[in-house]
Chains A and B, each alone.
Chain A
Amino acid sequence: MIVSKLKPLEEILPHLENYKRIFLIGCGECATVAHAGGEPEVMDIKKKLEERGKIVTGWVIPRETCHIPLIKKELRIHKEEIKETEAILVMACGAGVQAVASATEIPVFTAVDTIFLGTIQRYGRFLEYCSMCGHCVLNETAGICPVTRCPKGLLNGPCGGVLENGNCEVNPDMKCVWVEIYEKLRERKELSLFKNLHLPRDYSRNKKPAKLFLKGL
Chain B
Amino acid sequence: MSLLRKYLQSGKFVITAEASPPKGTNSNILKEKAKLYRGKAVAVNVTDNQRAIVKMSPVPSSLILLQEGVEPVMQITCRDRNRLALQSELLGANALGVKNVLALTGDHISAGDHPEAKPVFDLDSFLLIHLIQKLNNGYDFNDHPLDGKTDYFIGGVINPCSANMELQLLRLEKKVKAGVEFIQTQAVYDLDIYEKFYREAKKFGIYILGGILLLKSARMARFLNAKVPGVRVPDKLIEILERSSNPAEEGIRIARDLIYGIADFAEGVHLMSVGQEQQLSRLLDEIIREKPDLYTPPAINQ
Q: Which residues of A contact B (CB under 8 A)?
A: 151-166, 169-170, 179, 182, 191, 194-195, 197, 199-201
Number of interface residues of B (CB under 8 A): 34
Contact check, A157 vs B229: say whether CB atoms are below 8 A apart.
no
Chain B 69-96 per-residue mask, 1 if CB under 8 angstroms from chain A, else 0: 0000000000100010000000000000
Given contacts A169-B108, A170-B108, A194-B170, contact A160 B230 (CB under 8 A): yes
The A-B contact count (CB < 8 A) is: 83
Q: Which of B18-26, B27-35, B40-48, B124-132 contacts A (4 or more CB under 8 A)?
A: B124-132
Q: Please, how many angstroms separate the alpha-carbon atoms of A156 and B111 in the complex?
A: 22
Q: Tell me which residues across on chain B come within 8 A of A158, comparing CB atoms.
A: 167, 171
Within 8 A of A (CB), among B124-142: 124-127, 130
Interface SS of chain A: loop
CA distance in complex: A169, B229 (Å): 8
A159:B125 contact, CB within 8 angstroms: yes
B108 close to A151 (CB less than 8 A): yes
> How many Å from the CB of B291 to the closest CB on chain A?
31
Which residues from chain B sit less than 8 Å from chain A, CB to CB?
79, 83, 104-105, 107-108, 110-111, 119, 121-127, 130, 157-159, 162-164, 167, 170-171, 173-174, 177-178, 186, 229-230, 232
A157–B170 contact, CB under 8 A? yes
**Sample (5) of A-B pairs whose CB atoms are under 8 Å apart:** A154-B105, A155-B127, A162-B229, A170-B111, A195-B177
B125 touches A152 (CB 8 A): no
**A152 and B164 within 8 A (CB):** no
Measured CA separation A27–B178 after assembly (Å)? 49
Please determine whether A161 and B174 come into contact, CB atoms closer than 8 angstroms: no
A216 CA to B17 CA, complexed, in Å: 65
Given A156-B127, A157-B126, A162-B159, 14 additional A-B pairs, CB 8 A: A151-B110, A152-B119, A153-B121, A158-B167, A159-B125, A160-B158, A161-B108, A162-B229, A164-B163, A164-B230, A166-B164, A169-B229, A179-B164, A182-B167
